[in-house]
Structure 1
Amino acid sequence: MTPRGWAVIALLAIAGVSLLVLFLMIPWRRPPASRADQLAALADLPPAAVARGRAFRAALRPPGYAGLVAGLVVALLLGLTPLGSGLVALAGRPFGGHWIAQAVLGGLLVVFVADLLTLPFAAWRHAVVSRYGLATSGWSGWAGDLLKSYAVSAVIGASALLGFYTVTRLAPQWWWAFGALGAAALVVLLSFILPVLVEPVFNKFTPMPDSPLRTELMALAARDGVPVRDVLVADASRRTRAVNAYVSGFGPTRRVVVYDTLLREATPAEVAAVVAHELGHAKDRDVLTGTITGALGAAGAVVAVYLLGSATGLLRLAGVDSIAEPRALPLLLALVSVTGLVATPAQALVSRRLEARADAHALALTGDPQTFEAMQRRLSAVNMADPDPPRWEHLYAATHPSTVERMAAARAYARMTDR
């Protein structure tokens, strides 16, 4: 059998395993949240807060969707014309067109140009967030975080590019197999190192000091049977007034992170409700689920790219001879951009199901639906969320249930436990 035949079989196998993982590890049955309860919850929210949240989200849509379209146009322009391959060749020219220079410097140049062309939309978005008072860092802080993001992305990207194109040269017929394994391994590796090495670049994390709240949170984790390394406080207030918490890492790197803004805005019981939600992610191994699905997706993408590389029409448009050469990187990025746009609704659906399960876990662990609902009210008001966003937008990109869905789920839980 030819390498292409094996690649087809590998892609089908990856797709089959991915579907099995999604079927077994994603909670497709969601907690009850009837539309009647959602409308009742919406009516109970302060009208002024609802109006402000909707105005804020409406103001974010133009830069958000314009930036999305601009990014796609730039990716297609660089990937489906000789412009992108020309940039890669230009970056390698001072080094005699060496493949390493093209792969690393050319790849970074293409990404930088794409980011530069879409930067005005990111700045527009920051201006909106600042105008509504949610951002606290100012333009200097925003620019500093942007440069940090570029630096981190450059290090990770350069390593990935060098590894990928080294494999394509050493195994010209079977690079897709080694590349798929490498991409999957990189996703797993990043799951371990991002919380430890990358997150501290953007925030300062300090252990939550000994206090009744910390004691309560650690006791909550112990009662839940979730081994958590620590509860950390992130200095999010230096860039935002938004409140949040999350769980990151797994195994020895797992920790629950609480924004300092959450500690400032919420009551201890509400903080406990948020942490109970994050413990749900840890208990149900949602980080591991994300890592597995991400690794499978990365492996499948590499194999799909290999198979698409035989499409002479695409290669001709990009001005390259082979999908495996560094000058074809803009074409790869264009394919990834289109795939990401198409896959967004499915990814959002999976995320919403995981978040809904974590909400149900928090309700069961605390047994306090009233506090859970109060926390959702606070999250919506402080973060200026649209508590009941347009359905099309929610289905396309929302990673969490809406505020009214979460409040309705809490009310359904309260009725169930009162029986």
Structure 2
Amino acid sequence: MTSPERRVALGVTVLSGLVLAVLAAVLVPWDPVPGGPLPAVDPGAVLTPEQIERAERFASRTDPWSHLSLAVRVLLACLLGLTRRGRAVFARLPGPWWAGVVLAVALFEVVLRVVTLPFAVLVRRQLLAYGLSTQSWPTWALDLVKGEAVDIAVGSVALLLLIGCARRWQRAWPAIAGSVAALLVVVGSFVYPLLVEPLFHDFEPLPDGELRTQILQLADEEGVDVDEILVSDASRRTTTLNAYVSGIGGTRRVVVYDNLVADQPPEQVLSVVAHELAHARHGDVVIGTVLGAAGTCFAIGLLGLAWGAARRRGVATTGPAVVPLVLALYLLAMLVSSPVQNGISRQLELRADVDALRATGDPEAFIELQRQLAIRSLADPTPPAWERLWFASHPTVLVRIALAERVGSGQE
């Protein structure tokens, strides 16, 4: 790596790292729970012994396969990207450099998917056995194919951008690629609800009626402009209950699962919607997008620093041979940063819970909803601490119920 290129990469890393730290400090609610530390409630006060045992048994039959699948995926990615023999396979891909890059991304993703497919099948068998999935095997397989196609498309665009910039601007490429990649993260938040979500679900507007009127009234009281209230056909795939908010600006939408609307009382549906409206009011999608953009720029700066080391070891950094290296490093970075990402997510979720409880004034409905969510999804009420730290994007049901009890009692 030339000295100017190293200086640019170092500058991008330092600057984007500082921006990321400042944004996280300012935008993330690090103390969203009123009244200080929040001890979880006793699981026996929320769930029956049979429900707890069933959830723990389900976790014991699915979590090991999921964790093993992740371990195999990471190990295989390292073998493909961090070893000379692995990269040599990709170096022999035919065609011009840009075609080779797309082929390399596709080969990398398909190999990882095929090798870890048995674990996905084992987990799905448990989902069927415990009644959590309503999806047929053919439609499940089709969703896998769609997911792989999306991953390959996104990965190809990202790698073409990265390698194209490195080929065109040999000194300044980390700054240029980092800036463009950050912009693409923002664009992705706009287009994801329009291009990706419809690949997996059909959406219909929530019909006119009392529930829609109540939701619009709640949104008006919370000062949230609701672009769309949509119902997803989630029951074709799962029996679990959920809702979410996605998109930015004109593509923002609140989506509720059809089985949530059909199976739960209106006050519990309103509790879920109030939570999602809180996300919208605080701009949590925007916060996640901004942090993601800064994090992407930071990652490219780090990659720029590693680029020279790879080049000195004989890795061709302007063609398909570098693709498995970049993707392996990306996978490792995502794994290492998961506690931070999920820690931020949990704080945002707690803030939305607090706002939802205050907006509805109905902690009993919130508590019952959390019980139903835990029962329907067979969520382990007391997962291991390391698992919560690394993989949990939401607080546990016991923490959320403790929050509802505190807010409901006025001990804020």
Structure 1 residues 186 and 42, CA, compared in 2 at 3 Å: closer, same or farther? farther
1:88 maps to 90
Within the candidate set 129, 134, 139, 1:136 is matched to 134
Letter of the structure 2 residue corresponding to residue 26 of structure 1: V
TM-score by length of 1: 0.93
Letter in 2 for 1:167: C
The whole-number CA distance in structure 1 between the counterparts of 2:156 and 2:362 is 48
Q: Quote the residue 2:409 is aligned against.
A: 415
Instruction: Indicate if the aligned counterparts of 2:274 and 2:355 stay in contact, CA closer than 8 A.
Output: yes
How far apart are the structure 2 equivalents of 1:23 and 1:290?
13
SS at match of 1:232: strand
Q: For 1:34 and 1:398, locate their aligned partners in 2 and report how far apart those are by CA, in whole Å.
A: 21
Unaligned runs of 5+ in 2: none
The separation in 2 between residues aligned to 1:111 and 1:180, in whole angstroms, is: 23
Kindly tell me: are residues 333 and 33 of structure 1, through their superposed partners in 2, closer, same or farther at Cα, counting changes over 3 Å?
Answer: farther
Shift of 1:176: 1.2
Residue 331 (str. 1) matches residue 333 (str. 2): no
Correspondence 1:194 to 2:192: yes
Give the alignment partner of residue 16 of structure 1, picking from 4, 18, 22: 18
Q: Given that residues 81 and 325 in structure 2 are in contact (C-alpha distance below 8 angstroms), is that contact kept between their aligned partners in structure 1?
A: yes
- What's the secondary structure of 1:355's corresponding residue? helix
Secondary structure at 2:226 match in 1: coil
Q: Aligned pair in 2 of structure 1 residues 412, 383: CA closer, same or farther (>3 Å)?
A: same
3-state DSSP of counterpart to 2:244: strand
Partner of 2:229: 231
How far the C-alpha of 1:14 sits from its partner, in A, is: 0.6
Decide which moves more: 295-304 or 27-36.
27-36
Task: Judge conservation of contact 1:309–1:323 (CA < 8 Å) in 2.
Answer: yes
The range that moved more, 267-276 or 3-12, is: 3-12
Secondary structure of 1:243's aligned partner: coil
- Looking at structure 1, the residues matched to 153 and 80 of structure 2 have their Cα atoms a distance apart, in angstroms, of 22
Q: What's the secondary structure of 2:92's corresponding residue?
A: helix
State which drifts further: 178-187 or 154-163: 154-163
Q: Contact 2:5 / 2:170 at 8 angstroms: preserved in 1?
A: no
Distance, in Å, in 2 between the alignment partners of 1:395 and 1:169 is 40
1:145 aligned partner: 143
Q: Higher relative contact order at CA 8 Å, sep ≥6: structure 1 or structure 2? A: 2
Asked if the contact 1:388–1:403 (Cα under 8 Å) also holds between the matched residues in 2, the reply is: no
Between Structure 1 and Structure 2, how many residues are aligned?
A: 410
Aligned residues of 2:226 and 2:253 also touching (Cα < 8 A): yes
Deviations 1:181-235 (A, max 9, x none): 1211111111000101110010000001111001101111111101111110000
Distance 2:47 2:37 in 1: 16
Letter matched to residue 44 of structure 1? V
User: CA contact under 8 A between 1:37 and 1:411: conserved in structure 2?
Assistant: no
* 1:301 pairs with 2:303: no
Conserved in 2, the CA contact under 8 Å of 1:136 and 1:241? Answer: yes
What code does the residue aligned with 2:86 have? Answer: G
Q: CA deviation at 1:402?
A: 0.4
Looking at structure 2, the residues matched to 39 and 412 of structure 1 have their Cα atoms a distance apart, in angstroms, of 11
Report runs of 4+ in structure 1 exceeding 4 Å deviation: 32-37
| Pairwise CA distance, 1:315 | 5.9
User: What's the TM-score, normalizing by structure 2?
Assistant: 0.95
1:81 and 1:348 mapped to 2: Cα distance?
Answer: 30
What is the CA-CA distance between 1:239 and the residue it aligns to? 0.7
- The residue number in structure 1 matching 2:343 is 349
CA RMSD of aligned residues (A): 1.9
Q: Residues 357 and 404 of structure 2 are in contact (CA less than 8 Å); yes or no, is this contact kept in structure 1? A: yes
TM superposition shift of 1:346: 0.9
Q: CA deviation at 1:156?
A: 2.5
Taking structure 1 as reference, are residues 33 and 105 closer, same or farther at Cα in structure 2, changes over 3 Å only? Answer: farther
Q: Secondary structure at the match of 1:2?
A: helix
Matched, 1:366 2:357: no
AA aligned opposite 2:272: V
Percent of matched pairs sharing the same residue: 40
Q: 3, 6, 11: which is aligned to 1:4?
A: 6
Partners of 1:10 and 1:165 in 2: CA distance: 17
CA gap of 1:179–1:228, structure 2 versus 1, over 3 A, is: same
